[in-house]
Amino acid sequence: MTFSDIFKSSFLESVTEFSAVDTAIGMVFALVVGLFIFLIYKKTFSGIMYSTGFAMSLIGLALVTTLVIMAVTSNVVLSLGMVGALSIVRFRSAIKEPMEIVFLFWSLAAGIVIGAGMIPLAVIGSVIIGVIFLLFANTKFQKGAPYILIVNCADEKAENSVLDILGASVDKYIVKSKTVTDAGIEMTAEIRIKDAATSFVNRIKQAGGVSGATLVTYNGEYAG
């Protein structure tokens, strides 16, 4: 087969079916929806370290997926080849937060729907999802902010004093772990307080038999 035979094949004929207008419209809507997903992620982010790279990848994922789906829907043979090519792709980036998976699938779904030509579905669906995320992000299902308190006590008497102070100062507390050694007692408790009032930690440190008290925020997940 010569180069002349290759160019006489149906390859160039399939190129003529390409519509620049449809592609431009689809990519513009993918960009708009991707930016919307980016803003929702930034607004509802509740983790410790915000990743700008991951947030920007949501926009790129919507654009790339739209482009791929446009190519697949225009050519059945290409769609089969695309499935085989994408089956060898492996992603090894660690997902730090479960919500990141949701945003990744959201970008993928938006790109697929826009690439398939159902732009109103992508826009309306994304708006509904974004509003739901904003409502849940701004709703407090539990009173007070979550904290982890770590206290080092000399004996059981000091431990009881700490629990008495917690009972009178915080909305709610739950002892998560307790370690007893020859050096003393280390107790870890999940607590909830209002208005970031942390002065009770000073009173705990001043209690007899308490050698140290540490208060840290956490995201509601505890591994003990």
Residue boundaries of the structural domains of the chain: 7-137, 145-217
**Residue 29: what pLDDT?**
93
* Predicted model pTM: 0.60
pLDDT of residue 78: 60
Check residue 224 and give its pLDDT: 40
Question: How many angstroms separate the first and last alpha carbons of the chain?
Answer: 67
User: Which residue shows structure tokens 């920007």?
Assistant: 56
CB neighbour burial string for 12-31, b if at least 16 within 10 angstroms, e if fewer: eeeeeeeeeeebeebbebbb
User: Which residues of the chain are modeled with pLDDT < 50?
Assistant: 6-7, 141-142, 221-224
Task: Give the CA diameter of the chain.
Answer: 93
What CATH class is the domain 145-217? alpha beta
CA distances from 85 to 88, 89, 90 (A): 6, 8, 11
What pLDDT, on the 0 to 100 scale, is given for residue 89?
A: 55
At residue 85, the pLDDT reads: 53
Q: What is the pLDDT of residue 129?
A: 93
